[in-house]
Amino acid sequence: MSSSSVEAFYDGNGIPVELTEVEQALDHLWGPAAEKAGGPELDSPAVTRVVLANVVLVNLGPNRPEMEKTIEAITTQYPSRLIILRPDPQAGRKLLAEVSAQCHLPAPGRPQVCSEQIILRTSVEGRDLLPGAVRSLVESDLHSVLWWCDDPREAPELFEQLAGEATRVILDLPDPEADPGSFAAALKADEGQKARDLAWFGLTTWRSLIADQFDAPVAGNLGRIVSIRVRSNVKDTDRPSRAAAWLVGWLAGQLGWKPEGSPQILGDGRCEASLRGREGLIKVVLESVMSEMGALAQIEEVEITLRPDTHPATTLTIQCGGEGTCEICVTDGQGSGCAFPRLVKVPRDETAHRVSAALLTDRSDPPYHRAFPITLWLLGG
């Protein structure tokens, strides 16, 4: 390989190669790249090549601006052999391949950690060639993750073949623009229970914040919930936010609430519905607010109202502004204002956090599966 090719490879630029020569090209490029980084000393390498798994990322639609952040997060959080499938209308019935390195510095003074990236491009006519090509490129002794970024119904045979050979499937679809049927079709057919909606992994902070408010000795207050309202920041209000629906689905699944009637999908991304709990009906409202943001909605506020019992009516409000701080406020029906207001530091909901959670989560996730049918019902799916 020429020195310019090594430079381009090490800098993350794609090097075109023949599909049959991908492995040979990678073997030739890694050695010179390591030497360029500071020398080939085995006891003190400047570059550490790490492959924990195979990640097959499929993005056959228009290029999404946030995709580079996703790729960076995958290789940083989970160094892998990353195989990316992308469209090329000019390729005809042929696969075009290129290779590159994705590197990051875990800490000053430590060697760079690098993953390898293989990009395959083809047209619609050549999609049937992709499963065989991917099969020949994955490391056979490692598990494989399918990271799917398009409506599975637009390439059902490709999705079915790649998902069938993966140990985990992540659906990375815009929220709330994606048709609920797009992830419903994939998740309903998931007999092995290995598929996940990426929006689910943006709820970690909210689930923790809500659960903390009902820890013992106030756990009995869960039965007093009469309404829950979730407001999300979105860049499109044609549909309710999936993240908001997942949050309600999680709470309902944990508490055994059941759908009552049919949800009302209103304009401006609003949904109104009722769930039946052991103590009666719970009113659900999902609201959306237009905001400049990425492809996934961000929950901004959750309001939970408790009915009067031996205690007065109470409203719990949690607001998170996206700057790493959430305000928690409890008010009662007496209009006495916020009692015990407090601020809580929380991790910012960034692409890297969701990707890391999606890749490292346990395959067994009962709360997710309990939440799924209620979430789908709320979205009208």
What is the residue extent of each domain of the chain? Answer: 3-166, 202-378
CATH of domain 202-378: 3.30.360
Apex 118 CA angle, 115 and 122, nearest 5: 160
pLDDT in tens, 219-264: 678 888 999 999 999 988 888 999 999 999 999 999 999 999 999 9
* Rounded distance between C-alpha atoms, residue 109 and residue 92, angstroms: 47
Question: In the numeric block, which tokens belong to residue 201?
Answer: 């992994």
pLDDT in tens, 321-331: 767 889 999 88
What average pLDDT is seen over the chain?
85
pLDDT in tens, 201-214: 999 999 999 998 88
pLDDT in tens, 102-142: 887 766 666 678 888 999 999 999 999 999 999 999 998 89
pLDDT at residue 300 tops 50? yes
Comparing 41-50, 79-88, 307-316, the range with the smallest average pLDDT is 41-50
DSSP state of 140: T
**What mean pLDDT comes out for the span 27-46?**
55
**Burial class, 86, CB count within 10 angstroms (exposed 0-12 / middle 13-18 / buried 19+):** middle
Please name the residues in contact with 310: beta carbons below 8 A apart, sequence gap of 6 or more. none
- In contact, 367 and 253? CB cutoff 8 Å: yes
* Rounded distance between C-alpha atoms, residue 117 and residue 80, angstroms: 8
Question: In the numeric block, which tokens belong to residue 238?
Answer: 């044609």
| DSSP string for 183-226 | HHHHHHT-TT--EEEGGGGG-HHHHHHHHHHT-TTSGGGGGGEE
DSSP state of 310: S
What is the number of other CB atoms lying within 10 angstroms of the CB of residue 67? 17
pLDDT value, residue 270: 94
**What mean pLDDT comes out for the span 360-370?**
85
pLDDT at residue 42 tops 50? no
End-to-end CA distance of the chain: 52
Question: In the numeric block, which tokens belong to residue 271?
Answer: 């949904």
pLDDT in tens, 62-106: 888 788 888 888 888 888 999 999 999 999 999 999 998 888 776
- In contact, 57 and 82? CB cutoff 8 Å: yes
